[in-house]
Structures are given as C-alpha cells and as structure tokens.
Amino acid sequence: MKPSLYLLPALLLCSMKVIAQQRPPSISSPEVHPDHSITFKYFSRKAQKVTLNGEFLKAPVALMKDTSGIWSVTVPPVKADIYPYSFSVDSVQVADPNNTYIFANERFKRSIVDVPGDQPLVHSLQNVPHGKISYRYYKSATLGMTRQLLVYTPPGFNPNGKTKYPVLYLIHGGSDTEETWTKVGRANLIADNLIAQGKAKPMLIVMPYGNVRPAPMPDFTKDMVADIVPFIEANYPVIMESKGRAVAGFSVGGGQTLNIGLTNPSTFAYICSYAPYTATEEFQKNFANWTPDAAKINSQLKLFTVSVGTDDFLYEPVKKNIAMFEDKKIKLKSYIVPGGHTWMNCKQYLATTLQELFN
C-alpha cells in the first residue's frame, strides 16, 4: 500500500456533500505568536483584494497573496485581549473560515482572536476549578414560546445541596444572542477565576435571549420577571429574595437592565448597567417623567452601577442618564474608564462589578 493514502489528512474531509467539490488547502488562522503579533490567512485564488478589519486596528490592513492563493498578513504585537475581526474579500465581509470562534450575533458574522497575556487575564482559561454552562429551554408565557437560555453554575455546585446560591441575570447587546456573553464575553471564565481567587461569590449566571422582536421591548421585562426568574427559582437552589438577585447587561441589554431593575427594586437588589443604550420607547416611558421615591429605592438597592468608556459612542447619553439618576437622588456608582463600545470593555465591566455582587 502507498503511505500517501494514509497521509490523506482528515483535514481534507468534511462531513458534507461539498466533500466532492474542490477543497481549499488546510490553513491555520489566526496564529498568535509569542510576541503577540498575529498572522491571519485566507484562501482564495480568485479574489482581487482581501483586507482584515479587527478591533485591534485603527484601520483595515491588506493581506498579500502567495502563488498558492493563500492571502496573509501579520499584524504587529497587540495588547493581550479578545478581539472581534473579519475579512473583507472583494468588499464582501466574511468571518474567518478556519476559525471556529464566532461572534454570536444576529446581524453579522465575525470571528474572535484570543491574545493571551504574559500573565493570565481575568477571562483566560486558567488552572482553577471550572463551573458549567448549561443550555436549557424554558417556556415563556409572556412570549408564547419555548426559548433557550444559558445557565452558568459555579464549581462545586450541588443542585440538591443545602447551599442556596445568588443569581446574576446577565443580558447581551442589541443584536447579540444568548451565547454572546460566554462566546465573546467569557462570563463563565471570568466567574471561575474571580471565584477561585475569592474575589467573587459563587453564584449562578443566567444568560437569556433579550431580543423579543416582533414583540414590543417591554415584553422582555415581563419575560424576565414573570418567566425567567420563576423558571430558575423552580429549578435551582437559589436565594428567592431580592438580596440574592442581580441584573446586568450591555448596550441595549444595559438599557433593559435599567428598565428591569429600576421598575422592580423589590425583585433585584443589584443593578449593573454597562454602556446602556436608552433611546427606546420603554426607557422614555419609565424615566422621562420619573418621580421616584428615592429614599425607598436606595434602601431597596444594595448596588446600582453604571459603566461606560470615554470613547464609547454612548458616552454622552450615558453621562446624561447618570446625571438624571443623581438629580433624582438615586444612589449610584459610576465607572468611567478608557475605551469604547466594545466587548473588550464589556468584559472589564463584568469583572469589576462581579466582585461587588452579593457581598
């Protein structure tokens, strides 16, 4: 027998009909080098122009083609973090075909590159006990459908034990999905690491799907309070009081967090809003002419934070909302940090506020 037969790499196979079609060569992309420079590759014999657009770049950079049709570029060392990127192939935006790490999103397909730190970062996979992420279905009476949500349970979690856990309800951004907080935000690893260091309390993190279109946005508030929280409390050993419930979210989810949390302070004692988008009918209805009993709300809430980056395109409206809440005497802790409206920032907002929950 010819050895070459056995060297036919499994790589060249795929589990579909396209197997019979001509397959591109095996490519490893992205490759993060020890100095934090990164090589990106894309295969196309036909393309005229391939560029890389990454959130670690100020502007797209061009890839160069070799004689075999492999386009590549190596970018100079970048700061350790997790970054979204995509290719533009003759002006068509594509995710990296050779990278399984996809940005979970409804409106675009981008890939993710993880540049590890010289020291492990708060979102890195470290040698610590790991919790589990469970994909579950729940029935939403509000929306009249069965929906999926993700539940992080911490290391050592015992569903039948005597320990009652607090729960963080964590909402993604506007066109994200219930998977974005784990796939891009690494919420599970951030929790694993902070719990291992004793910096965060062991807790459940529930990640629902916040988009309810074509239903009106306030239906998600109802879904959260009337369907999601009861589902979790019926199925997990959790603290069934406001002091054991937190709600947090990013961007559109940050706005939803304010709507859900501040209209239900007897349900959630912790509210953490990350770069909230608030130009919604629901927010206007709730807060344009809000006359809160501030003393009461302040006594109900154990923590209310608003985070935003100074380069965030929502920086000005977020500052206005912070001022609005302060004007109404609502006690609030604001985290104004460098950076933009990115998941790089968002992970830091979570890592910071996770340490303040359920203390």
Find the part of the chain contacting its own copies (CB under 8 A) among 65-73, 87-95, 293-301, 315-323.
87-95
Say which DSSP state 153 is in: E
Radius of gyration of the chain (CA): 23
DSSP β-bridge partners for residue 303 = 270
> Restricting to residues 330-349, which ones interact with its own copies according to CB under 8 A?
340-343, 346
> Restricting to residues 175-204, which ones interact with its own copies according to CB under 8 A?
175-177, 180, 182, 188
C-alpha closest to that of 223 among 145, 338, 168: 145
> Restricting to residues 294-313, which ones interact with its own copies according to CB under 8 A?
313
Structure token digits, residue 261? 């949390």
Q: 34 or 359: whose CB is closer to its own copies?
A: 34
> Restricting to residues 110-149, which ones interact with its own copies according to CB under 8 A?
125, 127, 130, 132-137, 146
Nearest-approach distance from CB 209 to its own copies, in angstroms: 9
DSSP β-bridge partners for residue 176 = 105
Look-up of token digits 């979102």: 123
For its own copies, the binding residue among 38, 112, 194, 252 (CB under 8 A) is 252
For its own copies, the binding residue among 18, 22, 34, 67 (CB under 8 A) is 18
> Restricting to residues 45-64, which ones interact with its own copies according to CB under 8 A?
46-47, 55
Q: 136 or 243: whose CB is closer to its own copies?
A: 136
In sequence order, the 6+-apart residues with CB closer than 8 A to the CB of 188 are 130, 131, 133, 152, 182, 205
For residue 290, CA distances in Å to 87, 255, 259, 325 come to 46, 15, 12, 10
Q: H or E element: which one contains 82?
A: strand 81-89
287 binds its own copies (CB under 8 A): no
22 binds its own copies (CB under 8 A): no
> Restricting to residues 209-238, which ones interact with its own copies according to CB under 8 A?
211, 213, 217
286 binds its own copies (CB under 8 A): no
